[in-house]
């Protein structure tokens, strides 16, 4: 074999060791090294590239050994009575945190929706709430978004503790549409009038901002308790 082919064999040997640790399929190096594909692959590499790859794989092999040892220790622990009790405790805690998260999210959505629908229109709904984003939309009788359009509010406190806050709204275009539709039950006016009312109602906007930042803080406290 050439020097590069010997280096490539070493690469496949290291890959096989990693694959064996992880329970993956290994390559029959003896058979593969006799193929045209192996020789072509060796020819494509530069020698220094092969040596560099070998060093990287050696590092990966050591990491795989450490991870395997840690997993074996964890499996051995969870096989004990103490480990089973700890696992049940973790699962119960996870379910409790999920329940608390769901309660906070639902109550926040209800609070926001009541405030918004009362102020800018009964057909406005709130959804897709996260700790940095919430969506507002006009819906029909089946609670589906009208026009396929929504408004997104993005909020975030500065991570640097300087008191800066992000509280922004993004209103996209609804595109070309009939301004005198035969069905006037859900007109575009409701959407744009609602947006105007939202921008003009400073008290409502301040309430929304306080509710959203309060929600993010509650969720953060729940997650810290995980």
User: 50-95 pLDDT, tens per residue?
Assistant: 999 999 999 999 999 999 999 999 999 989 999 999 889 888 888 8
Pairing of strands 165-171, 151-157: antiparallel
pLDDT of 1 > 90? The answer is no
By CB neighbour count within 10 A (0-12 exposed, 13-18 middle, 19+ buried), where does 21 fall? middle
pLDDT in tens, 19-36: 999 999 999 999 999 999
- Is residue 39 helix, strand or coil? helix
**Is residue 150's pLDDT more than 70?**
yes
Write out pLDDT tens, residues 117-144: 999 988 899 988 999 999 998 887 777 7
pLDDT confidence bin for 145, thresholds 50/70/90: confident
Domain boundaries, the chain: 3-78, 93-224
Instruction: Specify the pTM.
Output: 0.61
Largest CA distance in the chain: 81
The residue assigned the tokens 């926040």 is: 108
* pLDDT bracket for residue 223 (50, 70, 90): confident
């Amino acid at each position: 074999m050439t020097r590069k082919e010997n280096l490539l064999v070493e690469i496949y040997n290291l890959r096989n060791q990693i694959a064996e640790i992880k329970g993956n399929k290994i390559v029959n190096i003896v058979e593969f090294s006799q193929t045209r594909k192996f020789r072509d692959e060796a020819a494509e590499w530069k020698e220094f590239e092969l040596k560099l790859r070998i060093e990287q794989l050696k590092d990966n092999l050591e990491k795989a050994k450490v991870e395997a040892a840690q997993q074996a220790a964890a499996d051995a622990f969870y096989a004990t009575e103490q480990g089973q009790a700890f696992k049940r405790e973790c699962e119960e805690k996870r379910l409790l945190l999920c329940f608390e998260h769901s309660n906070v999210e639902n109550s926040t959505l209800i609070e926001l929706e009541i405030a918004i629908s009362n102020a800018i229109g009964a057909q406005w709904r709130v959804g897709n709430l996260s700790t940095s984003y919430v969506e507002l939309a006009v819906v029909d009788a089946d609670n589906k978004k009208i026009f396929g359009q929504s408004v997104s509010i993005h909020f975030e406190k500065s991570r640097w503790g300087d008191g800066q806050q992000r509280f922004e709204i993004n209103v996209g275009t609804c595109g070309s549409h009939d301004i005198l539709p035969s069905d006037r039950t859900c007109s575009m006016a409701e959407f744009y009038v609602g947006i105007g009312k939202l921008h003009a109602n400073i008290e409502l906007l301040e309430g929304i901002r306080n509710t959203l930042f309060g929600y993010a803080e509650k969720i953060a406290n729940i997650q810290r308790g995980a």
